[in-house]
Structure 1
Amino acid sequence: MRRRPPPGRAAAETETPRVTYKDVALAAAVFAVQATLALTLPEAARSHRPDAVGWIWLASSAAVLTWRRRAPMWCLLAMIAVVAPYHYLENIQDAPVPSSMVALYSVAVAGPPIRTFLVVPTLVGAMAAVMSAIGKPTSGAPILQGAGWVVAVAVAGELVRMHRNYIAAIMERAERAERTREEEAARRVAEERLRIARDLHDLLAHSITLIGVQTSVAAHILLADPERLDRTAVAGALDNIAETCREARSELRTTLRVLRADSDGPLPDLAGIPSLIKAAEAAGARVTLFLYPGDEPVPPAVGAAAYRIIQESLTNTVRHAGAPDPRVQVAVTHQGTSLHVCVEDEGPDPVGQPGADKPEGFGIVGMRERARSVGGTVTAGPRDDGTAGFAVTAVLPFAAEGTEPATEPATAVHLPVHPALRAEPEGDPA
């Protein structure tokens, strides 16, 4: 079964090539070569320089080459029809060889191979017939020499055709792979959009319905009997609306945290900070960790944001530090209803860190997004104490401004304290 060509290439393969100025230029160049051969090759006993009719046949053999790409087989047949009388008139025999070889090469390049294999013996037989008609010997060196040229040109054309097909197959596979990747990416995006739409619908539909019902109840109470208005019932309906809004907002924040997570598993938290320290030390950094815990548990979203900020800061330090073993200090402090994270390194300003004339990279932008997702802020730049180095400071409130604190005791965690890494602060943290 023949393989169907890919879209976009089918039209290019089925469209018949047109005669271009390049074809005309090639025909003119071949005629110039043939004219030079006709005028410079020595005459033999039964071979003389072409007369007026001979020049017409010789020029015609070059002219038919303008159709070599549009109709290569017809071009070769026309070439035989033109060259045969030229030889019969006993003109210089080798003059039309260039045009004949170009026509044969065009047939071999255009394919298919079976046609080329049939054309080669046919041409050798036609050559022997012409040589017999003009009285030349049909055996020995002349036939072998002519057959050798025919086979060599046919093989060269076939090799070029195979190489072109090989390149075309590689390009086709690359295009197919690219289309497959694009289709897969589009499919994944569509599935993710559908999943998000389904999650948001399930989350909001119930709450919005309750709000609508409670609003209708409040309006009905207000309009039913204004003189006997039950203020308690109206206040209760409005309180229910406010409570429903708070619950919907909390659930929406939880859903968005899940959607922003890097994986479908649980969110990372502060308990994983020691593993980050070990990974950075394995990469050559010398890290000192200071943990100042508090009594209130850290919400999961805040813990995840702090974890990612510390992870990105350590990664940037190891990647861009000017020293092979950079010193890093990581401080995590529980201050009231917020978590303060500070990552400082010591040493010269590393290449790749943003400065006054350097734009921020995607890592710092990502840290800002992490902090903003929980209502916090991130600052990154040279250390405030004036010493050489870079500092990343994050303030992550346990509840965003204007929202109710989200308490999730089942998954909230306290700051971990590693016995070997814990450092007592000098006084109570502010």
Structure 2
Amino acid sequence: MQAPTTGNRIIAAINRDPLTAPRALRHDALLAVLTAALAVVLALLVDDGRRPDALGWALLLVSHVPLVWRRRRPVLVLLAVVACVVPYHFLDYTHTAATLAAYVALYTVAVTGRPLRTVLVGIGVLTLSVSVMLTISAHEALGLLKASGWVVAVLFLGVDVRFYRQYVASIVERAERAERTREEEARRRVAEERLRIARDLHDLLAHSITLIGVQTSVAAHVLSADPERLDREAVAKALDDIAETCRSARGELRTTLEVLREHGPPEVRGPLPGLDGLPDLAQAARLAGARVEQQVRIRHAPPAVGAAAYRIVQEALTNAVRHAGPDVSVRVELDERQGALHLSVSDDGTGPAPGGTPGFGLVGMRERARSVNGTLDAGPRPGGGFEVAAVLPLTTTGKRTG
């Protein structure tokens, strides 16, 4: 990793909040020492007042001591500096030497406080300074007024730096918020994808295992009904049906699990099941012993809506074969009314046995419907049997359903 350059360090120091900067006390102590050293040099070289004596040197050096705590208590530090600088100027020592500490204190007040406080402090400092100079001479007071532009410049510099830091902090905060939003969106998409895969696996395995179980029972019944007059053709057909169900389940399972190995966008996945797959579902239910009547009066639907309808019909047929009892009649109806796909799967069976452990079938169907902003109702029919009814809007938000 490349070490930061001097320019980058300076920019980082400017952008950093002075109230939360690391090692602030040590840096301010070093600043106080350097400022005091420069003040001593100016006191020795500049001739705009008499050279300090012991009292003057004491006042000059003590005025720099409060700068060590300038970030913690900027106003108190300014008052302490002024308390040392005012008598220093009043005694007409070298005036330039005492300005550095005052400028540093003024800058700190401006960069750490609100603009109103900065303006009030600046007016107070100028008023006090002019009043002190007037006690010395009107000429010195006039000279101070001419030099007051430096005070205003220092205050404006502090205010500008403060606003700049606030601007940079707002940019950083917006970037961090955007990053958090992206992470939350990524977590949400992962959770939705996991839920989608779980629903797909549930629908696929429940449907396939139920059909295999029914077909295996048919084969076992044929084998045990009359061993001496074995209907080989019926047994072979039952086993072929089991093999076909296994092949279909294996292919769909492979397509579902391939999602876990892909890193591309959802659009690169295989085609979604849709309304054109409903005849295969009906045929699979017939092979399991159900009498299925299907009436589809809609040909086209958005892919997400078609996939949701396919999965709902698949789960409803699976439940009918599993719970409705032998020789069940199932009616599947799909039509378009008022811009929505109306779906109904009803049977005349006995329904699930009371007291049984509830599964995730109805929950999954309701989630399928909600994924395309639809609704689903399921329950016993007044005349006997069970019905699943769903209304799926044909205008979706583009959300993909597996």
Q: 1:37 aligns with which of 30, 39, 42?
A: 42
More helix by share: 2
String of CA shifts for 1:63-108, please: whole Å, max 9, x gaps.
2111122222221121112212322333222211011001111111
**Cα separation, partners in 2 of 1:241 and 1:143, compared to 1, 3 Å:** same
Q: Is the 8 A contact 2:255 2:270 kept in 1?
A: no
Matched, 1:113 2:115: yes
Aligned to 2:204: 203
Q: Is the 8 A contact 2:133 2:140 kept in 1?
A: no
Matched, 1:192 2:197: no
**Corresponding letter in the other structure for 1:24:** A
- 3-state DSSP of counterpart to 2:267: coil
Aligned to 1:81: 83
**Cα separation, partners in 2 of 1:61 and 1:244, compared to 1, 3 Å:** same
Cα shift at 1:122: 0.7
String of CA shifts for 1:110-145, please: whole Å, max 9, x gaps.
131111111111111111222234x22288632322
Cα shift at 1:250: 3.6
Q: How many Å separate the matches in 1 of 2:220 and 2:25?
A: 82
Q: Is the 8 A contact 1:221 1:229 kept in 2?
A: no
Aligned to 2:8: none
TM-score (ref. length: structure 1): 0.49
**Cα separation, partners in 2 of 1:75 and 1:218, compared to 1, 3 Å:** farther
- 3-state DSSP of counterpart to 2:52: coil
Aligned to 1:20: 25
Q: Is the 8 A contact 1:87 1:93 kept in 2?
A: yes
Aligned to 2:245: 244
Q: Is the 8 A contact 2:18 2:71 kept in 1?
A: no
String of CA shifts for 1:283-340, please: whole Å, max 9, x gaps.
xxxxxxxxxxxxxxxxxxxxxxxxxxxxxxxxxxxxxxxxxxxxxxxxxxxxxxxxxx
Q: Is the 8 A contact 1:61 1:82 kept in 2?
A: yes
TM-score (ref. length: structure 2): 0.52
Q: Which consecutive unaligned segments of at least 5 residues does structure 2 have?
A: 1-16, 273-402
Q: How many Å separate the matches in 2 of 1:39 and 1:18?
A: 32
Matched, 1:177 2:182: no
Q: How many Å separate the matches in 1 of 2:28 and 2:18?
A: 19
Q: How many Å separate the matches in 1 of 2:229 and 2:259?
A: 45
Q: Which is worse superposed, 206-215 or 58-67?
A: 206-215
Q: How does 1:15-414 map to 2 (within 5 A)?
A: 19-42=24-47, 44=49, 48-133=50-135, 135-137=136-138, 141-212=142-213, 240-253=241-254, 262=267
Q: How many Å separate the matches in 2 of 1:229 and 1:38?
A: 125
String of CA shifts for 1:32-57, please: whole Å, max 9, x gaps.
1110111222264xxx3222232222
Q: Number of residues paired by the alignment?
A: 251
Q: How many Å separate the matches in 2 of 1:30 and 1:253?
A: 75
- 3-state DSSP of counterpart to 2:96: coil
Q: How many Å separate the matches in 2 of 1:153 and 1:33?
A: 18
String of CA shifts for 1:260-301, please: whole Å, max 9, x gaps.
77368969xxxxxxxxxxxxxxxxxxxxxxxxxxxxxxxxxx
CA RMSD of aligned residues (A): 3.9
**Cα separation, partners in 2 of 1:236 and 1:70, compared to 1, 3 Å:** same
Q: How many Å separate the matches in 2 of 1:147 and 1:136?
A: 17
